[in-house]
Structure 1
Amino acid sequence: MEFKEYVNSLPNRRDEVTSELAALCCVSNNTVYRWLRGDFIPDALKRKVIADYLRVPEKELWPNV
């Protein structure tokens, strides 16, 4: 399940997860929303942090990177 699909599958926690990811990656919530829309892809370090936080393999979240 890709990043966008995974986060959207958490309807009751989506805002909470988005805020936590923003804090962990030292970016704004808007940046996380841009990642979710597919406007941008996080850099390698941020992808690793996100994958570890979500406990989903990075290659599953971003299969085309």
Structure 2
Amino acid sequence: MKFPEPMLEMFDSLILSLREALSYALSSVFMFAMLAIALTVLLTFFLKEIKLRTSNEYEEEGSLKEQQ
């Protein structure tokens, strides 16, 4: 399909405008994501450490039955 010459110029300018708009939008999204990730990594250093359980056994026999 062949477009007339005036339509080709308009089509090219439309494609150029769309590329610029997508480029601007995507760069903003990736910059925001980069800042969010950096802030999250920074905040993980301030989390309080919680000790994990060292065994799978319950301390009391009664607490095992209550859980089931």
TM-score, normalised to structure 2, is: 0.22
TM-score, normalised to structure 1, is: 0.23
Larger radius of gyration: 2
Q: Looking at secondary structure, tell me which structure has more helix per residue.
A: 2
